[in-house]
Amino acid sequence: MAVALQGIEFHRAMSDAVFTHCPYCAFQCGMRLSRSGSKIIVEGDESFPVNKGALCVKGWTSAAALEHPERLRQPLARNARGELVPTTWDDALARIARAFIDARARYGPNAVGLFGSGALTNEKAYLLGKFARVALGTASIDYNGRFCMSSAAAASIKAFGVDRGLPFPLEEIAHAETILLVGSNAAETMPPIMQYFQRQRENGGRLIVIDPRRTPTAAAADIHLQLTPGTDAALANGLLHLLVRDGLIDEQYIRERTEGFELVRRTIASYWPERVERITGVPVAQLIEAAHLLGRAETAMVLTARGAEQQARGVDNALAYINIALALGLVGKPSSGYGCLTGQGNGQGGREHGQKADQLPGYRRLDDPAARRHIAAVWRIAEDALPGPGRSAYEMLDGLGREDGVRALLVMGSNPVVSAPNAAHIMARFEALDFLAVADFFLSETAQLADVVLPSAQWAEEEGTMTNLEGRVILRRRAFSPPEGVLTDIEILCALAAHLGHASSFSFAGPREVFDELRRASAGGLADYSGITYEKIEANRGIFWPCPAEDHPGTPRMFADSFPTANGRARFHAIEYRPPAEEIDEEYPLYLTTGRLLAHYQSGAQTRRIAELRELVEEPSIEIHPATAKLYGLAEGDRAILRTRRGAAEFKVRVTADIREDTIFVPFHWGNALAINRLTNAALDPISKMPEFKVCAARLERSSANGKEG
């Protein structure tokens, strides 16, 4: 049956359909696109082994953005009256080049910056990193993935020597006897993944969910541990305490494949159940039940997501949960292990190939002399011409317009004035820039501040590879041509490099040539793509990295025999619980936490423009427990003012018993006055530089819009 939505029909695709992938989350669902007259037809691809034909509402409506009336179709430049008006590509690129050259001459190379995205293809992420270091010679580059997966990535590197979100195929989820799912509402944020959890349950498996809210995911669990926000490390230590106390750990695995456990054993000895209950609010009986389900399972998984990771102690939290997986001997075994549910579309590949401030392609460290020599040879530049590590995403944004910070910035595929913490402050920093250029396909809140806006091709209008949450490199095929006057990001970077005098280093005919250079650059690195080709991806419906040779089949499951550490062993880390950077008090007595909804994605720059999604949820609401609502004299549908130490915003009230009494929740998909990140805390994890999005102190007030009480 066909369903018409905003000029798009969903039914069986015609024979000329193009196989490609959804533009949204890291599940990277396979889909087929074709045209029937003026209509774009979207169909789930049943042959793709990840989603098996399933799509969520965002995937079904994704083509609506391609021909949206607000689509940018020509460059814009700010005129003398401060208005963004149409201009030519030559003028737009020349303005950007002049601004970059001027900023570099006045303030030095690091005064020119780039801010990238976890939505960019591998080719674009790679090229953006090369553009920063070769065309600009700047250390000032980072990306919005720093706000998403960086804590789990840093923890995995510390524990295992490498970060691949899921170091095993998604298919293995269905065969795990017990799963501990931490801080993920996958049923709304990544709905097609739930088929694996459903099959796990059908196979007799058990699911434990840790979350301050009773989300649809938590409601489907056997056990829901509804912890106090910011207490993950205490909860993980408490579970491990019980596993050790009750003799449920794998001593042989610990002895043969790990190091550092004895210090962990001593540390977790003080996390007895009654103490953990006081810290986390999780009853002792539930702690014991959860620990025994994990410890007595033949196969088990520990999966973390943003709830535990987007905290100022996010790396510690992830390491504490990794300790559980290692103590149970799960890592490297079939249908078992630790994994991170990566969020952004190319969150995995986007953090592997050089758009992070401290990184070179292949997941190499920028401060590693051997890595620098290798990349300098591929790029045909002097090793000492490579800049050193730069500032992380928030640190760079916080320094915009300052004397020692970035003065001219290019943003590609991101909307940081909505997605960054303490967003009102970040908007002020953007306004302090000497020059801002933004490449996007809509006039986002960030693009509205720009001096030059470049119209980019969208996902279905370009070719390139993505790496999904399980480390599977897949090919996004071009289904349609971009509108006249619109360029791909690769074309933009190559053209801009030519304006800066570096045409010879950026003379790529298209994404396949960029990928071939990426293969050479990644060769020998932890994320080795050198054996992957477009043809090999197509023949196998994706290839798992590392893949170090063209005759290598790829690596679906990692760590079966050893870990890429100096001695081949995984490392335990003794973690002490520390409270959040901002604790509740009499003035701010509630915990604020944030997250996503089914109908929208990230900053909402795309999904808020799609009528069907906007109608599902038109504006954000504050979720409040009935007891809390009564305390503040609030009822369903009232307006309430939410305050933190960074500001205030007004939202509609949604009363629900699915949240803790001491906690309130607001989704982050809206901008301007409805941007909840105007209120969130920018306290950073000292290792990953992840901001503390998931917990800060807040208070509620009745809005005058409700009228008088009583």
CATH of the domain at 161: 3.40.228.10
Do 306 and 195 share a structural domain? Answer: yes
List pLDDT tens digits, range 165-214.
999 999 999 999 999 999 999 999 999 999 999 999 999 999 999 999 99
Confidence grade of residue 38 (pLDDT, cut at 50, 70, 90): confident
List pLDDT tens digits, range 555-609.
999 999 999 999 999 999 999 999 999 999 999 999 999 999 999 999 999 999 9
pLDDT above 60: residue 15: no
Task: List phi, psi (to 5°) of 456.
Answer: -100, 155
Give the pLDDT of residue 7.
Answer: 32
Please say which residue of 510, 544, 578 terminates a domain.
544
Q: Give domain status of residue 657, yes or no.
A: yes
- Give the span between the Cα atoms of 516 and 431, in whole angstroms: 39
pLDDT above 50: residue 5: no
For the beta carbon of residue 430, count every other beta carbon within 10 angstroms: 21
DSSP annotation of 213? B
Confidence grade of residue 10 (pLDDT, cut at 50, 70, 90): very low
Do 122 and 47 share a structural domain? Answer: no
| Helical pair 369-379 and 511-522, crossing angle rounded to 10 deg | 150
Q: Give domain status of residue 560, yes or no.
A: no
The SS3 call for residue 510 is: coil
Q: What mean pLDDT is reported for the chain?
A: 95
Do 442 and 381 share a structural domain? Answer: yes
Our count of domains for the chain comes to 4
Could you tell me the sign of the dihedral formed by the alpha carbons of 96, 101, 106, 111, in that order? positive
Q: Please report, for residues 308, 312, 330, 398, the alpha-carbon distance to residue 90 in angstroms, rounded to integers and kept in the order given.
A: 46, 44, 56, 31
- Give the span between the Cα atoms of 122 and 120, in whole angstroms: 6
Please say which residue of 523, 544, 565 terminates a domain.
544
Residue type, 701: E
Q: Give domain status of residue 666, yes or no.
A: yes
Do 385 and 262 share a structural domain? Answer: no
Task: List phi, psi (to 5°) of 319.
Answer: -65, -35
| Helical pair 89-107 and 489-499, crossing angle rounded to 10 deg | 60
Q: What is the CA radius of gyration of the chain?
A: 24
Q: Are 429 and 399 in contact (CB under 8 A)?
A: yes
More confident residue, 165 or 708: 165
Tokens of 348: 């995995």
Q: Give domain status of residue 568, yes or no.
A: no
Nearest by Cα to 455 from 133, 197, 70 = 70
Task: List phi, psi (to 5°) of 423.
Answer: -65, -30
Do 597 and 533 share a structural domain? Answer: no
pLDDT above 80: residue 1: no
Q: Which domain holds residue 95?
A: 76-142+349-544
Q: Give domain status of residue 572, yes or no.
A: no
Nearest by Cα to 222 from 279, 180, 272, 278 = 180
Confidence grade of residue 64 (pLDDT, cut at 50, 70, 90): very high
Query: DSSP readout, 542-572?
Result: -EESP--STT----SS--SS--SSTTS-EE-
- Give the span between the Cα atoms of 490 and 376, in whole angstroms: 21
Do 332 and 288 share a structural domain? Answer: yes
Confidence grade of residue 708 (pLDDT, cut at 50, 70, 90): low
pLDDT above 60: residue 4: no
Query: DSSP readout, 626-685?
Result: HHHHHHTT--TT-EEEEEETTEEEEEEEEE-TTB-TTEEEEE----GGG-GGGTSEEEE-
Residue type, 295: G
Give the pLDDT of residue 710.
Answer: 38
Q: Give domain status of residue 418, yes or no.
A: yes
List pLDDT tens digits, range 102-134.
999 999 999 999 999 999 999 999 999 999 999
Number of H helices, E strands in the chain: 24, 32
CATH of the domain at 692: 2.40.40.20
Q: Are 591 and 698 in contact (CB under 8 A)?
A: yes
Please say which residue of 65, 100, 117 terminates a domain.
65
- Give the span between the Cα atoms of 445 and 434, in whole angstroms: 18
| pTM for the whole structure | 0.95
Give the pLDDT of residue 16.
Answer: 82
pLDDT above 50: residue 2: no
CATH of the domain at 371: 3.40.50.740
CATH of the domain at 47: 2.20.25.90
Do 178 and 30 share a structural domain? Answer: no
User: Under 8 Å CB-to-CB from 601, ≥6 apart: which residues?
Assistant: 24, 25, 58, 607, 669
Tokens of 656: 């629900």
DSSP annotation of 135? I
Please, what's the b/e burial string for 621-630 (b: 16 or more CB within 10 A of its CB; e: otherwise)? bbbbbeebbe
Do 656 and 529 share a structural domain? Answer: no
- Give the span between the Cα atoms of 607 and 25, in whole angstroms: 13
Give the pLDDT of residue 11.
Answer: 32
Average pLDDT over residues 533-548: 97
For the beta carbon of residue 682, count every other beta carbon within 10 angstroms: 22
Q: Give domain status of residue 555, yes or no.
A: no
Q: Are 663 and 282 in contact (CB under 8 A)?
A: no
Of all residues in the chain, the percent with pLDDT exceeding 70 is 97
Q: Are 391 and 142 in contact (CB under 8 A)?
A: yes
Do 612 and 525 share a structural domain? Answer: no
Q: Give domain status of residue 246, yes or no.
A: yes
Do 274 and 188 share a structural domain? Answer: yes
Do 314 and 170 share a structural domain? Answer: yes
Residue type, 628: T
Q: Are 680 and 421 in contact (CB under 8 A)?
A: yes
Give the pLDDT of residue 76.
Answer: 98
pLDDT above 80: residue 78: yes
Q: Where would I find the H helices in 214-355?
A: 216-219, 232-245, 251-257, 261-268, 273-280, 284-295, 306-309, 314-327, 347-350
Do 259 and 176 share a structural domain? Answer: yes
Confidence grade of residue 149 (pLDDT, cut at 50, 70, 90): confident
Average pLDDT over residues 156-161: 98
